[in-house]
Each structure stands twice: as structure tokens, then as C-alpha cells.
């Protein structure tokens, strides 16, 4: 697919600003944290935007809520549908509850019980399927048609992208003069939204996407000049196990990003441990991508002001302990 001929117009910074208005008083304005230890160690000034403290524990609430808040009355009555076993599911479930509309989430029947329970806990109906014999996209399409529900994808959607961009918008309001911004990257909803905000608010700021070394499809896509699809990557960064960018996220990233760097699983675990030990923060593996990219991605940050977007903090504590123990 050629992104330059993408049919609908790409979202803009105006859409990010409109999303910020909708999220006002609903999403948390998350804190920006510092670490003098890291600043001394690196000779740079780091500013952490902590979306691990966002509602439901990740930035995905921003995009989910923004998308659902734009439903027509007829759409709202039928409700929202999502397929996801991760943070997007909880974002849609919580947003639907706040907006008083039905939500159904399609999840594999062998998803961790804690995730099924959390999604049900937000009031959504969970529809399970057998991921070895059934195709989740086909199931979701069928349910969307049968029930008239509106399917909200996790990243390749203009309203989702605009909502995610409000995180970087807030960071740049709080810290206007950033030289660099590092953003965790899966399907590219967060990165493309952050790019819309950064290009408008801090045009000189260099923005890097950081994806798992084992799943560098976006880096390959950027180099090749077209969307590259890979097999589901094996990495501890479960929120970034995407196979390909979407046509909308690819078009924005290709146009605006400085570059894409990668991080290995041991580097992610190392950064998770740093967050726990030095900053007393629980950050999930995918949320540690941005710092890992800043520290180990080969970009010279001496004397620079560096923004790091921490995307989320949802991790099973048993697994968390194991990952930290292995470093
Ligand atoms: C979804 C997710 C990502 C990746 O976001 P994309 O918009 O798909 O690039 C990163 N971190 C966390 C915690 C996530 O939930």
C-alpha cells in the first residue's frame, strides 16, 4: 500500500488540540519526573512523561476515549468493539463505561485470567475465541455487523492517533525546550500522535521511535520506503508485538520522524530495573523502550534536554519480579 495515496486526510495538530479538550478533566494530566542520577551519568537532562500513571495504567486511555467521545448518538447506542488482549482492551472498556455506552472486547480464550477479569471489571463484555482455529479479525467484523457496534482499532485510526498525541502535547507544554523526544513504538499510534504535537509545538525537537530489536518492522519500513510486515516477534515488550505499521501511522511517521532505533530485551529489563531502583516506578517492558532507545540507541545526547515518554506500567507482578531478577 502506498501511503502517499492514502484516501482520507491524515490527522493534524488541530485534531490533537480538539482531543485535549475532550480529555480535559477525564484523563489524568500525568507528571513529568526527573532523575539527577541519570543526568549525572549521561551528561544530559532527562524529562520523563509518566503515562504509567494514566487511567488504566497506560496512554491508550487517551486515544480510546477520544475515539468513543466522537461517536454519533446512534453509534453510542450500539457501542464500541475492540479486539485486543492488552491495554487497548482496557482503554475501550473504561472509556465506554465513562461515556455510558456498551463495549465488547474480543480476546483469545487462553488470555491471562487477570486480563480477562480486568476487562470485565471495567464493565465490558468479553467475547473469547480460539486463536488456533479462529481468525479474530473475521470474528470482530462479524460481531460488528451483527450488533451494529463500531470497531475501534488500536492504532491505525485518526481519532486514536490524535488522542495519543495529547501526551506529548502536555509534555511540551510543561517542558518547552526539548532537543530530543524518545517514544515507545508498536503499531505507531503513539509515535504518530506525538509527531503531530512535536512538529507544531517544538519544530526543532528530534523525535525517535523505539521498537524491540526482534520486531523492527517500522525501522525496516522506513529504510525500504514501504510498509514491511514481519512474523509476530518474540520479545518481552508484549505491547509492541505488532507485525506492521498501519497506512495512516506509516504516512505520518515517514513524513515526520527523525529515525527509528531498537532495544534488546536485556536492555529493556535493565531500564525497568533502573526505574524501580532509582525512580520507584513500576514500568512495563514495552514502556521501557523509550529510555532503552535513548540510552543504548547510539544517539549522542551530551548536554541535550531529552524527553522520554513512558507508555505504561501494566505488568503481572510475578513476571515483573522474574524479569528484574534476570538482570
Ligand atoms: C500499545 C502500547 C504501545 C505501542 O503503542 P502503538 O500506538 O501501538 O505504537 C507501547 N507501550 C504500551 C504500554 C502500550 O500499551
Can you tell me the distance from the alpha carbon of 19 to that of 275, in angstroms, rounded to the nearest whole number?
A: 30
**Residue-level pLDDT at 6:** 56
Can you tell me the distance from the alpha carbon of 295 to that of 298, in angstroms, rounded to the nearest whole number?
A: 8
- Residue 62 has phi, psi (to 5 degrees) of -60, -50
Q: At which residue does the C-alpha cell 500513571 appear?
A: 53
**Residue-level pLDDT at 1:** 43
Q: Name the residue with the closest Cα to ligand 1, atom 1.
A: 239
Contact criterion met (CB below 8 Å) for 205 and 198:
yes
Name every residue whose Cβ is closer than 8 Å to that of residue 106 and which is 6 or more positions away in sequence: 81, 82, 83, 84, 127, 128, 129, 136, 139, 140, 143
**Residues forming the active site:** 60, 85
Q: How far is the CA of 150 from the centre of ligand 1 (A)?
A: 21
Q: How far is the CA of 283 from the centre of ligand 1 (A)?
A: 13
Using CB distances shorter than 6 Å, the residues near ligand 1 are: 58, 60, 86-87, 154-155, 184-191, 239-240, 242, 284, 286-287, 311-312
Q: How far is the CA of 239 from the centre of ligand 1 (A)?
A: 5
Task: State pLDDT tens for residues 202-219.
Answer: 999 999 999 999 999 999
All domains of the chain in start order, with CATH? 13-58+157-325 (3.40.50.1100), 61-151 (3.40.50.1100)
Name every residue whose Cβ is closer than 8 Å to that of residue 200 and which is 6 or more positions away in sequence: 13, 16
The residues that bridge with 82 in the sheet, in sequence order, are 105
Entry pTM: 0.96
**Residue-level pLDDT at 2:** 45
Residue ranges for the chain with pLDDT beneath 70: 1-7
| Residue from 240, 293, 313, 314 to probe ligand 1 pocket by mutation (most atoms less than 8 Å from CB) | 240
**Residue-level pLDDT at 108:** 83
- Helical (H) or strand (E) element with 309: strand 305-310
Q: How far is the CA of 30 from the centre of ligand 1 (A)?
A: 17
Cα–Cα nearest to 95, from 43, 41, 23, 149: 23
Amino acid at each position: 500500500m502506498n501511503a502517499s495515496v492514502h484516501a482520507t486526510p491524515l490527522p493534524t495538530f488541530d485534531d490533537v488540540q480538539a482531543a485535549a479538550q475532550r480529555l480535559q478533566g477525564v484523563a489524568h494530566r500525568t507528571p513529568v519526573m526527573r532523575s539527577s542520577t541519570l543526568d549525572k551519568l549521561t551528561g544530559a537532562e532527562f524529562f520523563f512523561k509518566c503515562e504509567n500513571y494514566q487511567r488504566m495504567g497506560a496512554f491508550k486511555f487517551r486515544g480510546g476515549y477520544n475515539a468513543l467521545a466522537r461517536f454519533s448518538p446512534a453509534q453510542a447506542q450500539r457501542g464500541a468493539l475492540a479486539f485486543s488482549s492488552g491495554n487497548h482492551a482496557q482503554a475501550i472498556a473504561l472509556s465506554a463505561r465513562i461515556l455510558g455506552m456498551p463495549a465488547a472486547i474480543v480476546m483469545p480464550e487462553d488470555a491471562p485470567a487477570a486480563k480477562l477479569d480486568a476487562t470485565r471489571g471495567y464493565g465490558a463484555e468479553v467475547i473469547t475465541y480460539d486463536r488456533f482455529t479462529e481468525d479474530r479479525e473475521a470474528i470482530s467484523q462479524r460481531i460488528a455487523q451483527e450488533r451494529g457496534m463500531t470497531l475501534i482499532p488500536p492504532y491505525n485510526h485518526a481519532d486514536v492517533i490524535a488522542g495519543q498525541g495529547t501526551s506529548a502535547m502536555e509534555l511540551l507544554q510543561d517542558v518547552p525546550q526539548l532537543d530530543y523526544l524518545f517514544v515507545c513504538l508498536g503499531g505507531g499510534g503513539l509515535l504518530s500522535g506525538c509527531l503531530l504535537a512535536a512538529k507544531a509545538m517544538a519544530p526543532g525537537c528530534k523525535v525517535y521511535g523505539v521498537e524491540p530489536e526482534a520486531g523492527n518492522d517500522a525501522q525496516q519500513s522506513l529504510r525500504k520506503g514501504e510498509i514491511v510486515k514481519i512474523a509476530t516477534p518474540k520479545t518481552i515488550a508484549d505491547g509492541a508485538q505488532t507485525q506492521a505499521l498501519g497506512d495512516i501511522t506509516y504516512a505520518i511517521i515517514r513524513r515526520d520522524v527523525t529515525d527509528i532505533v531498537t532495544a534488546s530485551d536485556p536492555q529493556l529489563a535493565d531500564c525497568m530495573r533502573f526505574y524501580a531502583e532509582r525512580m520507584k516506578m513500576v514500568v512495563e517492558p514495552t514502556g521501557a523502550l523509550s529510555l532503552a532507545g535513548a540510552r543504548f540507541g547510539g544517539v549522542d545526547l551530551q548536554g541535550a534536554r531529552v524527553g522520554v515518554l513512558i507508555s505504561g506500567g501494566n505488568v503481572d507482578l510475578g513476571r515483573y519480579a522474574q524479569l528484574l531478577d534476570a538482570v
